[in-house]
Amino acid sequence: MDWDEFAAWSRRAADWGADYRRTLRDRPVRPASPPGAIAAQIAKSPPEAGEGFDAIFADFEDIIVPGMTHWQHPRFFAYFPANAAPESVVAEYLVSAMAAQCMLWQTSPAATELETRVVDWMRQALGLPEGFQGVIQDSASSATLAAVLVMRERALAWRGNAEGLSGQPRPRIYASDQVHTSIDRAIWVSGVGEANLVRVAGAGPLRGMDAGALRAAIEADTAAGHRPAGIIGSVGGTSTGGTDDIAAICAVARDFDLYVHVDAAWAGSAMICPEHRHLWAGVEQAHSVVFNPHKWLGAQFDCSIQFVRDPETLVRTLAIRPEFLKTHGVDGIINYSEWSIPLGRRFRALKLWFLLRAYGLEGLRAMIRRHVGWSGELAERLRRTPGFEIVTEPMLSLFSFRHRPGGVADLDAHNLALVAAINADGRTYLTQTRVDGKVAIRLQVGQFETTREDVDIAYRAIVECAGQASDR
Residues at the interface with ligand PLP (CB under 6 A): 80, 139-141, 180, 182, 236-238, 263, 265-266, 292, 304
- Closer residue to ligand PLP, CB minimum distance, 196 or 239: 239
- Least distance in angstroms from the C-beta of 168 to ligand PLP: 28
- Closer residue to ligand PLP, CB minimum distance, 118 or 179: 179
- Closer residue to ligand PLP, CB minimum distance, 105 or 141: 141
Element (H, E) at 141: helix 140-155
Element (H, E) at 268: none
- Closer residue to ligand PLP, CB minimum distance, 75 or 261: 261
Edge to edge, the sheet with strand 438-444 lists: 388-395, 398-403, 438-444, 431-435
Give the whole-angstrom CA distance, residue 136 versus residue 134: 7
Query: How far separated are the first and last CA of the chain, in Å rounded?
Result: 57
- Closer residue to ligand PLP, CB minimum distance, 92 or 263: 263
Alpha helices in 293-348 (DSSP H): 311-318
Give the whole-angstrom CA distance, residue 377 versus residue 382: 9
- Least distance in angstroms from the C-beta of 404 to ligand PLP: 27
Residues contacting 109, CB < 8 A, separation 6+: none
- Closer residue to ligand PLP, CB minimum distance, 133 or 238: 238
- Least distance in angstroms from the C-beta of 225 to ligand PLP: 31
Give CA angle at 338 (93, 130), nearest 5°: 85
Give the whole-angstrom CA distance, residue 233 versus residue 245: 8
- Least distance in angstroms from the C-beta of 158 to ligand PLP: 26
- Closer residue to ligand PLP, CB minimum distance, 214 or 264: 264
The DSSP annotation for 6-72 comes to HHHHHHHHHHHHHHHHHHGGGS-SS--PPTTTTGGGS-SS--SS---HHHHHHHIIIIIGGG---TT
- Least distance in angstroms from the C-beta of 289 to ligand PLP: 12
- Least distance in angstroms from the C-beta of 291 to ligand PLP: 9
- Least distance in angstroms from the C-beta of 270 to ligand PLP: 12
Give the residue from 370, 414, 368, 372 showing the smallest Cα distance to 389.
Answer: 414
- Closer residue to ligand PLP, CB minimum distance, 139 or 431: 139
Give the residue from 301, 362, 372 showing the smallest Cα distance to 89.
Answer: 301
- Least distance in angstroms from the C-beta of 143 to ligand PLP: 8
- Least distance in angstroms from the C-beta of 240 to ligand PLP: 11
* Burial class (CB within 10 angstroms; exposed 0-12, middle 13-18, buried 19+) of 105: buried
Report helix, strand or coil for 380: helix
- Least distance in angstroms from the C-beta of 214 to ligand PLP: 19
CB neighbours of residue 384 within 10 Å: 8
Q: Is-contact 158 169, C-beta < 8 A?
A: no
- Closer residue to ligand PLP, CB minimum distance, 208 or 237: 237
Output DSSP code: residue 323: G
- Closer residue to ligand PLP, CB minimum distance, 122 or 465: 122
The amino acid at residue 442 is R
- Closer residue to ligand PLP, CB minimum distance, 91 or 265: 265
Output DSSP code: residue 153: H
The amino acid at residue 153 is E
- Least distance in angstroms from the C-beta of 389 to ligand PLP: 25
CA 255 to chain centre: 31
The residue count for the chain:
472
